[in-house]
Amino acid sequence: MPHPYWLQNAIRRNPRSTDADRSRHLPNLAKPQIVTAVQTKPQRKRRLIRRERPYWASCRKPVMDWFDENGFPAPGDGGQAGLERYVADVLAARGHHPAESTIRRHVRKWIDEYRAGVDNGSPRGAAPNLLIE
């Protein structure tokens, strides 16, 4: 009968088991003995690649239409919260219920895209050009 797997590993890793006569180093399986086995490291699990759900692409068009009607929200005016509620309602009507943080992340991305298109690429938070006379 072959040895259990953990015992085979311990025998293989034992430096004394490299002798020609290995039988004297093998434990007697009739009586219980304590054998320390060296365990190998567990392999890391590979993470799946995150892909954007297809319903976000279909939700982008109504949001851009909302921007055309209302403009992009200014910081502190509460417009982003209204837009997030609008996005949640649009997605709920289609049977999707993403987390609030996910909605907020996509809305922030769409606001930046719209602002870049309207302001000819000026980044978020950039100060307006000041004329000194």
pLDDT (tens digit per residue) in 14-44:
655 555 555 555 555 555 566 667 777 778 8
Q: Are the CB atoms for 26 and 11 separated by under 8 Å?
A: yes
Q: How many residues does the chain have?
A: 133
Is the pTM higher than 0.75? The answer reads no
Closest of 83, 2, 72, 44 to residue 11, by C-alpha: 2
By three-state DSSP, how is residue 79 classified?
Answer: helix
Distance from C-alpha of 72 to C-alpha of 82, rounded to nearest angstrom: 11
Identity of the amino acid at 51: R
Residue 126 pLDDT level (bands cut at 50, 70, 90)? low
CA triplet 72, 78, 80: central angle to 5 degrees?
A: 45
Average model confidence (pLDDT) across the chain: 76
Determine whether 87 is exposed, middle or buried from the number of CB atoms within 10 Å of its CB (0-12, 13-18, 19+): buried
> Which one has a higher pLDDT value, 5 or 74?
74
